[in-house]
Chain A
Amino acid sequence: MPSRRHFGLLLSPWGVTFSVFWLFPLLFALYLSFTHYSPLAPDLAWQGAQNYVKLSVDSDFWQAVRNTLLFVIGTVPLTTALALALALLLNRRFLGRGFFRAAFFFPSITALVVVALVWSSLYARAGMFTRVLETVGLGGPANGFLFNPATALPAIMLMDVWAALGYYMLLFLAALQALPREYFESAQLLSASRWQTFRFVIWPALKPMTLLVLLLNTIKSFQVFVEVYVMTKGGPMGATSTMVFFVYDEGLVKFDMGYASAAAYALFVVIALVALIQARYFGYGREVAL
């Protein structure tokens, strides 16, 4: 066995990274959340739970919470269902399967900033979506989808479903391909219909992966920011402001860093609970298929 000192040396880069860029800032943010701190007037003033009290009555914060919840509820189930459907289709053997799989997951490795810019132009006034709607006798919002409070958030949500779909499809596909062949053979032996095979064989076997996909996507969706920053800056009138956007806006635009940290921590506690469920049920032991 290598010596303990040797292990200590090997682990030191991670030890430093973890402590300096994760653990310390995490604790520092907790401390900040009980202070008033602004780089413009850098006097740290301890003020107890005041930030949290202020949050509880801040209508901008609650609007961001509401938008974030709408975003999670509106995208996560839809993305999961579509990803599962695509994975089931691609799990059969047919000519060109590799090509379809590649084409379906390419959007999920495209930079989110690029995706957001492309869709901004699709959603713009006189943009492609409005024009297509016009040809069928409908029309889009006068200033484009992103400048209308009623359509801005759904527009971003639709884009996110498109952008995230391929990744979760891959996860489902990996789970499907790990299923033992006997499952399908015995279903065939009992002359089960396609639906019965899915309902009684595939679906129960996929349950752990479905739960994992829901958790991963929930954790990610609670943190939606890039799309909002690039496409709407939280507008119009806060209609697309999300919790992380609120943190950014309060902390790095208005420089109210203590308050922003309180908002960040409120969100952190919510997501950490979801993440702990994930860690508890899914552990840390999956073999990486290479």
Chain B
Amino acid sequence: MKRALLYVVLSLALATMLFPLWYMVAGALSSNPTAPPEPGDLYLRAPRWANFAEAWSVPGFPRAVFNSILVAVIVTLGNLLFGLVTGYALARGKSRWSRVWAATVLAVLIMPAHVLIIPLFIELQAFGWIDSYAALIVPFLVNPIAVFIMRQYISGLPAELEDAARTDGAGEWFILFRIVAPLCKPAMAVVAIQVFLVNWNTFLFPFIFTTRPEMRTLPVALAFFQGFQQINWPHLLAASTLATLPILIVFLFFQRQIISGLTAGALKG
């Protein structure tokens, strides 16, 4: 009886949480371009698959997909390398300076970023980086969350292994990349997934740093999707669905890593 009640409550919550997502997919298949999807569309009475192809061929959309993939892949790879390197230095460094640097990671992680909008725009303009891939990539190559995750993980590894290798005459680079890095695989998986997700979804800075449509990432392109004509709701929802697809795939395969990455950001609880 109590169990039944639990399932009723959970199912209601489930329906509420999944409704907007189902609506997005079902609405993407609506055959009426001039009105928002209506209740009948939720049962897929007349699914119109062509909406996806048409949304794909909206000018600028494939380019935005390309930009998003390029930027997300490079930023993720960068964070794998720099997260390891920085996390290692912060975990093993014992000087006062390494504690100061650790504090800077924390500061960037929790301090609001909105105050950077204007000065970063001016700075990147001075670099000539507005509307360049550099602006979308370079500032994000060392994400504090990646550093944080790696530092925590490496702190939990025994340092004896490294010391033993050192006594045997191994070089510092060998120790970092051949001894520490292979042990960090689980943490690096979390970093890769977390950084990819954040980067794929991020809007604010790619939005500020680009003015030309060709340089937009997917979220920015979506925000401008409505364009000048009347909104084509099925196309908009189809494009939204396509943008969510990679997230869904990553989610299905790497849920455990996503949960680790998300809870890692919450610092000490």
Contacts and interface: CB of A to CB of B under 8 A. Distances in A.
B112 A271 contact: yes
Contacts of B186: 290
Given A113-B223, A114-B244, A267-B114, A212 B233 contact: no
B204 interface: yes
A108 to B, nearest CB: 8
Contacts, number: 290
A275 B197 CA distance: 24
A26 B123 contact: no
A200 interface: no
Contact of B236 (A121, A208, A247): A121
Nearest to A227: B203
A264 B121 CA distance: 14
Contact of A268 (B95, B112, B220, B269): B112
Interface residues of B, number: 100
A128 B36 contact: yes
B50 interface: no
Interface residues of A, number: 101
Interface string B53-64: 000000000000
A243 B190 CA distance: 33
Per DSSP, chain B at the interface is helix
Nearest to B233: A121
Given A102-B255, A104-B17, A175-B269, A21 B139 contact: yes
A121 B92 contact: no
Per DSSP, chain A at the interface is helix
B80 interface: no
A278 B120 CA distance: 26
Nearest to B104: A18
B269 A15 contact: no
B21 A285 contact: no
B195 to A, nearest CB: 13
Interface string B214-241: 0000111011010000000100110010
A109 B247 contact: yes
Interface in A99-118: 100, 102-115, 117-118
A166 B95 contact: no
A193 to B, nearest CB: 13
Nearest to A206: B269
Given A114-B240, A114-B243, A128-B36, A89 B6 contact: yes
Contact of A252 (B93, B118, B225): B118
Interface of A: 1-4, 6-7, 10-11, 13-15, 17-18, 20-26, 28-29, 32, 39, 86, 89, 92, 94, 100, 102-115, 117-119, 121-122, 124-128, 131-132, 162, 165-167, 170-171, 174-175, 208-209, 212, 216, 219, 222-223, 225-226, 229-230, 243-244, 247-248, 251-252, 257, 260-261, 264-265, 267-268, 271-272, 275, 278-279, 282-290
26 contacts: A1-B94, A2-B175, A14-B101, A14-B104, A14-B105, A17-B142, A18-B108, A21-B139, A25-B116, A28-B119, A39-B125, A102-B255, A106-B21, A110-B247, A111-B200, A114-B244, A118-B24, A119-B20, A125-B36, A171-B266, A174-B266, A219-B112, A229-B223, A244-B117, A278-B267, A284-B106
Given A162-B16, A226-B204, 14 more contacts: A7-B89, A14-B105, A17-B141, A25-B116, A29-B116, A89-B13, A94-B6, A111-B218, A114-B240, A174-B269, A244-B117, A252-B208, A268-B115, A272-B111
Report, nearest first, the 10 A-B pairs whose CB atoms are least far apart: A25-B119, A10-B89, A111-B201, A286-B268, A113-B219, A127-B36, A28-B119, A268-B115, A21-B139, A17-B142
